[in-house]
Amino acid sequence: MKKLLILITALSLLAGCKTVMDTPKSIPMGSWNYRLYMNGAEMGSAVLTYEEKANLYISTMTMSITAGPVQSTSKEVVTETKSFVPVKLEIYNQVISNGSTQNIDIVAVFNGKDIDVTAGGNTARITIDKPFVLGGNYLAKALLDKNFEKNSSASADIYSPSLELEDTVKVEERVIGVETVSINGKEENLIHIKQIMEDFQESEIHIDSKGVVRKMRTLMLNNLMELVIDK
């Protein structure tokens, strides 16, 4: 009877155990390389870089994709203050196909609610009369302040001229919980975050205990893009 009670107690403890992990304590700074998959096929690479300079956060994402004879590269640089006030947004795209090169660049400079947007050599001033941030570190910091607790969430109006030139896009991030995920053949305990960008795209993001993205899957226009951290 004593052995049976010990066994029941042990099973009860196991049943009550949950996968736990340390949560990020700050926004991670550094640079990380990723393999890029499109609809399951490896098609390129990406690099995420986060820097601090004086009173600024600078976030850079570069991607290179090869699809048959078409090669495309993109680079997005987000510059914001450490209180998440927008300073500058740079988007550079280049597509090379059959010996022809096309560049599509957008640069936005912010002065409060006024935005000077330059594209194709032309500059226009846009005014947005509501609070907004950039797609940099604001939501990450908001979830960090909530200790990435399960079901905690944060949302913001984000300016992204490649999606909406004269308006913002509502973005929400919600913590799903801690999950065990296979990364490069090894199982890792990661925090699962779901990001919904209004009517444009949905992303499933997995970060480690330092806040570094280990895996991200984004569904947009019926195409699935996946980033997996390189070894």
Cα-to-chain-centroid distance, residue 16: 33
pLDDT tens column, 31-73: 999 999 999 999 999 999 999 999 999 999 999 999 888 999 9
pLDDT tens column, 157-183: 999 998 899 999 999 999 999 999 999
- Given this model, what pLDDT does residue 200 score? 85
Q: Check if the beta carbon of residue 57 is closer than 8 Å to that of residue 29.
A: no
pTM score of the predicted model: 0.87
Query: pLDDT confidence of 121, banded at 50, 70, 90?
Result: confident
Strands 114-119 and 100-111, by their bridges, are antiparallel
- Given this model, what pLDDT does residue 11 score? 42
Structure tokens at 224: 């699935």
Task: Compute the distance between CA of residue 139 and CA of residue 188 in angstroms, rounded to an integer.
Answer: 23
For the CA atoms of the chain, what is the radius of gyration? 21
Taking alpha carbons only, the member of 161, 163, 156, 165 closest to residue 131 is: 156
